[in-house]
Structure 1
Amino acid sequence: MQRELSFQVSPQVAANSEALKLFVAKKDGLAFSDIRHVEILKRSIDARQKNVKINLKVLVFVNEDFQEQKIELPEYKNVTNSEEVIIIGAGPAGLFAALRCIELGKRPIVIERGKDVRARRRDLKKLNIEHVVNEDSNYCFGEGGAGTYSDGKLYTRSKKRGDVKRILELLVGFGATSEILVEAHPHIGTNKLPAIIQDITKTIIEHGGEVLFNSRVVDILVKDQEISGVKLLDGQTISAKKVILATGHSARDIFTLLDRKNIKIEAKPFALGVRVEHPQSLIDRIQYHTDDRGEYLPPSSYSLVKQVNGRGVYSFCMCPGGIIAPCATSPGEIVTNGWSPSKRDQATANSGIVVEVRPEDFKKYGNSPLAAMYFQQEVEQTAWAAGGKTQTAPAQRVVDFSNGKTSSDLPVTSYKPGITSVELGSVLPDFIYKSLQKGFIEFGKSMKGYFTNEAVVHATESRTSSPVRIPRDPESLEHIQIKGLYPCGEGAGYAGGIVSAAIDGEKCAEKAVLALG
């Protein structure tokens, strides 16, 4: 017999299978010996009270043996001789689109401007140590896209958009821990995700697909308002009737190309701000109400949102036990992001703290569909100049930031290129700066201890989402003008993270294959 139960337990009980069986036996009036197994289906933390509890949803096996169900990958077909679908970008949207094409019997050609995972690491080292930005190989571009080296968080609110469980199970099939099927806020970790991405790429190639690294698309070929293929930087032309455009949110050259070719795109509001870093021990004390979280609780996270001056100010991509990384995609700009290893065992916690950017904020660029992108770019370039024209980020202690005071010194930061003290009112647009100044004070009222000079603000957090939307038909998912072009994922404005991008990639692949017949 199987029984599904939901309840709260202490962290110690949740972490010990025998203690959990004893709890279930007492709670449900069962004999301990009758309980063969307690399978955890869902787990989350409730830290609202002084004593932190773990919410569990479990399946209890009473006088019935438990057999673990191994996650199996789909039966991928050999598509070597099948009709081809071009996919631009090897991030989550592109890779999952490719897998779905193979599953449905079509041959994907994935074109990625960046390098494979191993070669990409050398460019990231140069970026961190030597401040050298490779425009094609960085934290945003390369095998796996931005997600590969930026945390691997899998939490999504996109459940209405598609099958989240399917994506998580595919990731488990490719090597992720099955814990991601259980946790309320699943996370793989930047140290684990590259191997999973490599296995996905290997599967695509083994089943007849193609993955072209170091291959930048410089033209999208259109004839009579229909896709005919793409042209690469080396002059090579690849023909196909269907192109899935899965570039990610930082492919400014592609956005510019579309605008130049009069392929309709639209300026899209996004959010921009800073990345703030606290000692992880401080966040743990605030959230868990204790000086020592102990061995059973993970490093604590937070999620904050306030209305300030009529705008939303909120935390974004919070990384417990994590590191701040330089994520510029061109020389002459400063962009920050955060990531965590699987154990989230670094000494600091960081999060983007961002402010809503609206159409009226980038009106100085006129009616250009690239207006939001130009606004984003200008702030990043201003930060670069203020930091000394290297990847050194301009920074300020949090209380000093809200008081408009240049910090006399700065704490040690996880941001490897380093930071320099700058009054950030000279870097950020005035409405962003003033909203953040008050926002940090308001955050401190909700999280006592958050508003402290132990924390340091890094400029800028600017790649929260794409600054453009590429419009598509809601039914066919094709571009509203160009038949056979499928704008997809974060770069097109239809996703906001690994899982939602993967879901959108699958959807676009299904529509493209269906249209091919």
Structure 2
Amino acid sequence: MPLTVEITLSPAQAQDPAAIQAAARQAAGIRNPDEIAFSRIVRRSIDARRHTSGLRGVRIQLAVELWLDREGRPDPVHLEWGDVSNLPPSRQALIIGAGPAGLFAALELIELGYRPILLERGKDVSARKADIAAIQRNQPVDPDSNYAFGEGGAGTYSDGKLYTRSKKRGNYRKSLEILHHHGADESILYDAHPHIGTDRLPRVIAAIRQTILNAGGRILFDSRVTDLLLSPDRDRILGVTTRDGSRIEASAVILATGHSARDIYELLHRRSILLEAKPFAMGLRVEHRQELIDRIQYKTPDPALPAATYSLVAQVPSGLTGSHAPKTRGVYSFCMCPGGFIVPAVTAPGECVVNGMSPSGRNNIFANSGIVTQILPEDYADLVPHFGPLAGLRFQEQLEKMGYAQGGGAQIAPAQRLDAFVRGTKCGETLPTSYHPGVTASDMDKWMPRFISQALRAGFREFDKKMRGFVTPDAQVIGIESRTSSPVRIPRDRESCMHPQVSGLFPAGEGAGYAGGIISAAVDGASTARAVVAYLRREQP
């Protein structure tokens, strides 16, 4: 077994393999370098806190494994996907959506000896680039190929952050190993907040596709599902119908369509398949100069340090009345992108939706983050009698359309200087931005729902107490940040992962309401695939 030591180094030392090795040997009490057969970093994080000594110097904390000569070195991780190309229909499963949940479900099915058939409404990751470039140039949006839809899902061209709090849901480490196996940098295996980068993730996704195809799986692009094939009693899935009229039969269907597939929620609702409203959040995206965030977080600039990040949360008055109404609501940062860009995440004409991304080097001059607030059921109670479980979805749509009207057409987004937004004062000035389609000045609080603008303003004031200088005339807010998660959950049984009404239907991932990002969706997709195999073995021994 290896010896694990904890060491703390300066940023410059942490970039020097020899310095890391020397510090690890010293911590382990090993004088002779020849005693170490192999070493590797297993955890890395940045510590910029002020400690009891009163000194505030940014340090890098590392956990290093040392393998001594007599112990050899660790075995490499073994990942293998066998041939499933000639399996009978009883050993096949249908997956709707080729985002992380769908792709990792496919890999898990192959590993368990089952053949996946993947249907993706959009294009492969390479062909998708042209449609995304068109959106950036304010050309019409392809509803099936954009920042949300297409191979790899929403994360492929919108950042590639791999941090998750849901490590108890499944094999988090295996998901990282699979990404590394397909071309992601080794640092994702030990960084506290791993990140691939939107410039590198498409190649990783393409490599995963090739693994699935090489094993005999099928992937059908431009195959949007338009209906479900159900048994006469509507209690069992039989397959799906696609846009071109094709009928694809299957005894098990994994529904991994992502949080923006509104047509799927509407299809399920129309077919009287149970849906549930779930909590979600909406707000704006704030953009600062990265150098300001570095200065606030690090105090002293250091070229050896990466672009600084932040994670902020506050509880503010809810603005609701009534004895049972919540008194507070959360405001928090979401998908913080250091050295990144703001991008148009629309999926249909007439919407204004923004998101953030960072390249692997995180070297842009801007930093951006979603700043969002909880949307509570009381906030859209007037819509519930008309839309039932889709009421939150309709509320989300309404705000996106309001943002579009304020933006002035195409993907141009409304924007306001941050200090003016927090004060609630008029400001006709916009700042330089990473948002390529362009922005136009808008007094956000004059058209946003009052409870959202009030909560965000209060949240920004609290954030400025934690990060002095955060609220500044040199930053601006850009709207609308509305796709943090789905307002709808597709229910499933905790043990079987199957919909309670429809046997063989397995909701999975972020769109079903069981994940919140690339890794949690990947983990959920893999665990759902295992549930599918258990179901098929019971039904068709």
Q: Same fold (TM over 0.5)?
A: yes
Task: Report the counterpart of residue 204 of structure 2 in structure 1.
Answer: 196
Query: Could you tell me which residue of structure 1 aligns to residue 321 of structure 2?
Result: none
Aligned in 2, Cα 1:26/1:236: closer, same or farther, shift over 3 Å? closer
The residue that corresponds to 1:115 in the other structure is: 123
Partner of 1:363: 381
Q: Say if 2:220 is the partner of 1:212.
A: yes
Q: Deviations over 1:191-246 (max 9, x none)?
A: 11101111111111222211111111000111121001100111110001111000
- What code does the residue aligned with 2:3 have? R
1:62 Cα deviation (Å)?
4.4
CA distance 1:20–1:375, change in 2 (3 Å): same
Alpha-carbon separation, structure 2, partners of 1:173 and 1:388: 45
The aligned residue for residue 445 of structure 1 is 465
Q: 1:424 aligns with which of 440, 444, 448?
A: 444
How far 1:70 sits from its partner (Å)?
A: 4.0
Counterpart of 1:400?
A: 420
Question: Per-residue CA shift, 1:473-512, capped at 9, x if unaligned?
Answer: 1111110100000011000100001111111111111111
Structure 2 distance, partners of 1:445, 1:35, is 50
Do 2:340 and 2:367's aligned partners in 1 also have CA atoms closer than 8 Å? yes
- 1:46 aligns with 47
Residue 56 of structure 1 is matched in structure 2 by 62
Equivalence map 1:7-406=2 (5 Å)? 7-34=7-34, 36=36, 37-49=38-50, 50-63=56-69, 67=73, 69-83=75-89, 84-223=92-231, 224=233, 225-290=235-300, 292-294=301-303, 296-309=304-317, 310-367=328-385, 368-406=388-426
CA distance in 1, matches of 2:351, 2:257: 20
The change in CA–CA distance for 1:46 and 1:211 in structure 2 (over 3 A counts) is: same
Tell which deviates more after alignment, 405-414 or 113-122.
Answer: 405-414
**Structure 1 runs (4+) greater than 6 angstroms displaced:** none
| Alpha-carbon offset, residue 34 of structure 1 | 4.2
In 1, Cα distance between equivalents of 2:448 and 2:82: 49
After superposition, give the CA deviation of every residue in 1:24-60 in whole Å (9 maximum; x if it has no partner).
3444443153453542110000011320011111112
For residue 162 of structure 1, what is the amino acid of its counterpart?
Answer: G
Q: Secondary structure at 2:314's aligned position in 1? A: strand
- TM-score, normalized by length of structure 2? 0.93
Give yes or no for contact 2:340–2:366 (8 Å, CA) kept in 1: yes
Identity of aligned residues (%): 51
Alpha carbons of 1:35 and 1:312: their partners in 2 closer, same or farther (altered >3 Å)? farther
Offset at residue 65 of structure 1 (A): 8.3
Three-state SS of the structure 2 residue aligned to 1:145 is coil
**Shift of the alpha carbon at 1:174?**
1.1
| Separation in 1, partners of 2:183, 2:273 | 39
CA contact (8 A) 2:337 2:369 kept: yes
**Aligned-residue CA RMSD (Å):** 1.5
2:484 paired residue number: 464
- CA deviations 1:341-384 (Å, max 9, x no partner) are 11111111100000001111111212411000000000000000
Q: Please give the secondary structure, in 2, of the residue aligned with 1:482.
A: coil
Structure 1 length normalisation: TM-score? 0.97
Partner of 1:509: 529
Counterparts of 1:148 and 1:323, CA distance in 2:
14
Shift of 1:427: 3.2
Partners of 1:265 and 1:156 in 2: how far apart? 25
Equivalent position SS for 2:284: strand
SS at match of 1:124: helix
Change (3 A) 1:28 1:506: closer
C-alpha contact 1:80 1:209 (8 A) present in aligned 2: no
Extract unaligned runs of 5+ from structure 1. Answer: none
User: What is the DSSP-based 3-state SS (H/G/I as helix, E as strand, rest coil) of the residue aligned with 1:284?
Assistant: helix
Q: Is residue 489–residue 505 contact of structure 1 (8 Å, CA) maintained in 2? A: yes
Report Cα offsets for 1:163-189 as digits up to 9, x if no partner: 100110111111111110110000000
Task: Select between 147-156 and 8-17 the one with higher mean Cα deviation.
Answer: 8-17
Q: Deviations over 1:426-458 (max 9, x none)?
A: 332110100111211111110011111111100
Contact 2:67–2:73, Cα closer than 8 Å, also in 1: no
- Which residue type is aligned with residue 42 of structure 1? R
Question: What is the count of residue pairs matched by the alignment?
Answer: 515
Matched position secondary structure for 2:121 = coil
Structure 2: runs of 5 or more not aligned: 51-55, 318-327
Distance 1:190 1:68, change over 3 A: farther
Provide the C-alpha distance between the structure 1 equivalents of 2:298 and 2:120, rounded to a whole number of angstroms: 43
Structure 1 residues 394 and 2, CA, compared in 2 at 3 Å: closer, same or farther? same
CA distance in 1, matches of 2:533, 2:26: 54
Report if the CA contact (8 A) 1:20-1:38 is conserved.
no
Q: Specify the SS of the correspondent of 1:253.
A: helix
Once the two structures are TM-superposed, the CA of residue 76 in structure 1 deviates from its matched residue by: 2.5
